[in-house]
Amino acid sequence: MKKRIIKFQLLIAILAVISSAPSFAGDAAAGKEKAALCLTCHGEGNTVVGVGTPIISGQYRDYLIHAMKSYRSGARKNVIMAGFSANLTDKDIEDIAAFYSEMNSQLFTPTE
């Protein structure tokens, strides 16, 4: 019985350490500010998006990070996105990815 309690306390201690560790998931609030320009094309939820401009709200975080890094490195070629990703740091990309991935893609309903 005593052993069980000690194990439980150990588990709590480990969880406390894990939850207090710095997050590498990106900061969505900072991402929102950095995404001001992105929002003019990609919209928020599913607004503003025009033909040929993908909805990225609600997209998986890892996908967004991969896509932006691919544009930045030139591995994924697109004239528009090459320009908008060129000056982003890894931290910018993580923050913007956090912002978009945490957004509900159905936040707004289509207007047409």
Instruction: List interacting residues with ligand HEC (CB under 6 A).
Output: 35, 37-38, 40-42, 52-54, 56, 64, 67-68, 78, 80-81, 84, 96
Write down the least CB distance from residue 74 to ligand HEC, Å: 12
Residue 11 or 80: the one with the smaller Cβ distance to ligand HEC is 80
CB of 47 vs ligand HEC, minimal distance in Å? 14
Nearer to ligand HEC (CB atom), residue 6 or residue 62 = 62
CA distances in angstroms from 39 to 13, 35, 36, 43, 66, listed in the order given: 41, 6, 5, 4, 19
Per the listing, tokens 């350490």 go with 17
Residue 67 in contact with residue 76, Cβ under 8 Å? yes
Q: What radius of gyration do the chain's Cα atoms show? A: 19
Cβ atoms of 98 and 40 closer than 8 Å = no
C-beta of 17 vs 29, nearer to ligand HEC: 29
Cβ-based nearer residue to ligand HEC, 56 or 103: 56
